[in-house]
Amino acid sequence: MSHESIPLHLRNASLRGAVYGLSAAAIWGGMYVVSDIVLQAVPPFTLLSIRLLMAIAVLGLIIQRTHNAVHPAPRERLKLMGVGLVGFGISLGAQFVGTDLSTAINGSLVTSASPAFILIFAAVILRERLTIMRIAAVALATIGVIIIVDPARANFSSATFLGDISLAVAAVTWGLFSVLSKFVSKTHDTTIVTWYSLIGGACLTIPAAIFELTSRPIGNIDGGTLIGILYLGIISTAAAMWLWNRAFALVDASVASLFFFAQPLVGTLLSVVILNQQMTSNLWIGSIMIVVGVLLSLLPSQNARLRGATSEMNSVKS
């Protein structure tokens, strides 16, 4: 099959994947401003559980209304739930614990390693080829994040050790989750994958939330907090997770890993616009390096384009 023989809409699979992935990461980049407000009234695991349950309800309604998604066999459902347990349960849970026991700066530095782990797991699990271009793109964008965050402000001491370990677990498991999502998306619809994954994550976060509420009850919920919860559940979880999984279904995981860097980039830009943070030289240099790294990732080889188009073709057939 030559590149010219592939229909135009299939040749654009990689571009659509980039739009999906960058959109998801951009949503998460803007999520922290909302989360800071909501977390003043709702404890972390309780908020995470609410987000997952809302997303399950929204995607469940979509699945019911469309009537075109085929539910997998029971054993396959458990597999999809297991993927969600890794991503939404262990990874996001570890990130909450790590941020609580460590610092926000430490969290930004440690979790920026997630794309590197996606690269590794993609090579091991999916047998994707690690090209010099892709390794360089991840390295460049990672350095950009480090420049923005500024390691000199971090505090990797014995006081934050447990939190830093938890953040490292979050980075590794998010990389594993992203690659596993691509693996199961080869045979299942993206909406189905996302829905069962959310259910799997909720199986861990709900018991954690029940335990958490015994010592940290929900505070006063006003209109702004309620709107924030709706945003986090519908936009940041249901929509963004579908977009993230769809991106990994359409392009190589090693390419999609670069979309993660839109998250700190958007968060930084919002801090400048909303919080009036000064646009320093570090922010300029780091942001440019992230953008260049992402652009490098969008220059796939002919084989990568063909794999993306084939994935899209299979999706259309299903």
* Whether pLDDT at 310 is above 60: no
**Average pLDDT for 158-179:** 89
Where does the pLDDT of residue 31 fall: very low under 50, low under 70, confident under 90, or very high at 90 and above? confident
* pLDDT value, residue 256: 85
Over the stretch 193-224, which tens digit does the pLDDT of each residue have?
A: 999 999 999 999 999 999 999 999 999 999 98
- pLDDT above 70 as % of the chain: 83
Mean local confidence (pLDDT), 37-44: 86
Q: What's the confidence (pLDDT) of residue 308?
A: 47
Integer Cα distance of 262 and 110 in angstroms: 16
**Cα-trace Rg, the chain:** 19
CA 1/CA 13 separation, integer angstroms: 16
Confidence of residue 5 (pLDDT cuts 50, 70, 90): very low
Higher pLDDT among residues 210 and 301, named by residue = 210
**Confidence class of residue 11 from pLDDT cuts 50, 70 and 90?**
low
Cα separation of 72 and 298, whole Å? 33
CA distance 178 to 170: 12
**Residue 303 pLDDT exceeds 50:** no
60 pLDDT more than 70: yes
Q: Give the 3-state secondary structure of residue 25.
A: helix
Indicate whether 304 pLDDT > 50. no
Q: What span, in angstroms and rounded, lies between the C-alpha atoms of 126 and 124?
A: 6
Mean pLDDT of 88-105: 81
Please state, in angstroms and as integers, the Cα–Cα distance from residue 318 to each residue in 13, 65, 216, 228, following that order.
Answer: 16, 17, 46, 36
Please tell me the predicted confidence (pLDDT) of residue 101. 79
- pLDDT class for 266, splitting at 50, 70, 90? confident
Closest CA to 138 of 117, 152, 121: 117
Amino acid 50: pLDDT? 95
Quote the mean pLDDT of the chain: 82
What is Dmax (Cα atoms) for the chain?
Answer: 62
pLDDT at 177 over 90: yes
- 8 Å CB contact between 254 and 126: no
What pLDDT, on the 0 to 100 scale, is given for residue 271? 66
Query: Which pTM value belongs to this model?
Result: 0.79
C-alpha 94, offset from chain centre: 14
- Segment holding 178, helix H or strand E: helix 161-185
70 pLDDT more than 90 = no
Residue 83, both tokens: 């993927």
Cα gap 146→130, rounded to integer Å: 23
Break the chain into its structural domains and give their ranges: 14-311
Q: What share of the chain in percent tops pLDDT 90?
A: 33
Confidence of residue 3 (pLDDT cuts 50, 70, 90): very low
Contact assessment for residue 155 and residue 105, using Cβ atoms and an 8 Å cutoff:
yes
Contact 78, 192 (CB under 8 A): no
Rounded distance between C-alpha atoms, residue 181 and residue 209, angstroms: 25
